[in-house]
Amino acid sequence: MILYQRIASSSSFALLQTMRRRKAFLEHDEQQLDELETVISDSDEVQDDDILFQQIADNKEDLEVEKFFVDECIKLTEKITGTFADAKFRKLIEVIDEIKNREDQIDLKFIIFTEFRATQTAIIEFLQKFGYSCSYINGSLSREERIDQVEWFRNENQIMVSTDAGGEGINLQFCHCMINFDLPWNPSRLEQRIGRVDRIGQKHNALIFNFHLTDTVEDRVRRILETKLERIKDQFGDDKYTDVLSLLQDDFSFDRIYIDAIQVKDAESKQLNKIADQIYIRAKEIMDTDELLLPFSDFDGNAEEYLNSEVNKIIENLVMNYLKINQVEVNRYKGDEDLCYFNNPFPGLSTGPTTYRNVTFENSASYKTEKIEFINIEHPLVGNVTRKLDNSASIGAVSAFRLQLNKFSGVSGVWFIYRLEIRNNVNREKTALITASYGRC
């Protein structure tokens, strides 16, 4: 029900594709199923649309009822999609034209997010009718293909249309206008999208436009939750808002909140308001107890400069020494000594290219172009190296580095940070950081 609700809220194109796939399934038409593309989003919550085909009526009468219903849906959506009659498509072109006029920039770039590939395809086709050139990103593209799409967007195309596969890991700070054609129920995912343009290097105020379907249960639920979330943002600031949301999703299932409200058809119910209050109280508790951060030191240096010059060096030394030990040759580019290339030291793994090209370990160098591969502590290559080094241990992944700061002159000891994860593999996952010290630390 969650999936169908999202599809119906996205576009008639996504609904039409879904109904056609459902009809083919009900009629055991495997050839038609293979020919119809999947419509499902690239988000973590739903990776495959097999869920649409897990249930079927037990008797012939109910099966015929569903077939009739599906046929009627197909007829209605075909009428709408044939002329792009969705109100959302008309509003989309209105917003684009209005913002171009307001910004007085005819070639202003936009990024448009949707949850479903069928909607993505329709948006691109619709915009091309108005002369717009489009790039796109979805889960079917390789890393290299995504980089190419971003570069075409940067240098040639005016609009990027992306599923949530583009909501993380890409930098689009050369664009400052975003339209969320449909909205994820999890507010953290929305913040991740916004983070693609509202980031270091952005020279303009980010302009974000969210499409809401008014007079729906979904919209009423969203307004109640957003009222509480806005209070969090107003009280604690935008810089902490995203971090608070990431912790809130450990305690609250936003999908469950929406679907419960839709099932009872009473979005103004006392239970919903009660949950919204609980979300606000929990957010306030997170801030009051400093759950977001480890304690600050009074280090008065330039933190960004320190991270760039020290932490990145640690990561570079780790990777380079591993490559040297394993006799993997590292080559430097003649035109840019800051960039290098080398063969993947883990050829047997499915992740990563055969050859890492345009590699840098410096933050500043990585801003030049998406084709530069920035190796930081979260990069899969670093993860593979640390796991390989720790294969002999049975208690988990371990990494260490030495701190050499004037602030700690004369102080010796070891400071430990443990990450404790508790999960039941069903609906609960909790992560906590635990610190300890040994010696005069």
Domains (ranges, CATH) in the chain? Answer: 2-81 (no CATH), 87-288 (3.40.50.300), 310-438 (3.30.360.80)
| Residues 192 and 168 sit within 8 Å (Cβ to Cβ) | yes
- Report the pLDDT value the prediction gives residue 31, as an integer from 0 to 100: 67
| Token code pair at residue 288 | 């009051």
Gap between the Cα atoms of 159 and 24, Å rounded: 34
Q: Enumerate residues 6+ apart whose C-beta is below 8 A from 149.
A: 135, 136, 137, 141, 160
For residue 404, give the DSSP letter: -
Predicted TM-score (pTM) of the model is 0.65
**Residue 368 confidence (pLDDT):** 64
What does the pLDDT read at residue 165?
80
* pLDDT in the model for residue 49: 52
Q: CA of 100: how far to CAs of 96, 158, 174, 197, 430, in Å?
A: 6, 11, 16, 17, 45
CA dihedral (346, 350, 354, 358) positive or negative: negative
So what's the pLDDT on residue 365?
Answer: 62
DSSP, collapsed to helix, strand or coil, labels residue 418 as strand
User: What pLDDT, on a 0 to 100 scale, did the predictor assign at position 421?
Assistant: 78
Tell me how far the alpha carbon of residue 189 is from its chain's centroid: 6
How many other C-beta atoms lie within 10 A of the C-beta of residue 360?
20
Neighbours of 304 (CB within 10 A): 10
Tell me the C-alpha distance between 48 and 305, whole Å: 43
Give the type of residue at 428. Answer: R
pLDDT tens track of the chain, all 441 residues? 677 878 888 999 999 988 888 888 888 766 666 666 666 555 544 444 555 566 666 778 888 888 899 999 999 999 999 888 888 999 999 999 999 999 999 999 999 999 899 999 999 999 999 999 999 999 888 878 888 999 999 999 999 999 988 766 678 889 999 999 998 888 888 888 888 888 777 888 999 999 988 877 788 888 888 888 888 777 777 667 777 777 777 778 787 888 777 777 655 577 788 888 888 888 888 777 766 554 444 445 554 555 556 778 888 888 998 998 889 999 988 877 778 999 999 877 656 788 898 888 887 665 666 678 888 877 888 888 887 776 644 445 566 666 666 666 777 777 777 778 777 655 667 777 777 766 554
Look at strands 373-374 and 414-423 and give their pairing.
Answer: unpaired
State the Cα angle at 32 between 22 and 42, rounded to 5°.
60
CB 79 within 8 A of CB 68: no
What are the backbone angles phi and psi of residue 124, rounded to the nearest 5°? -60, -45
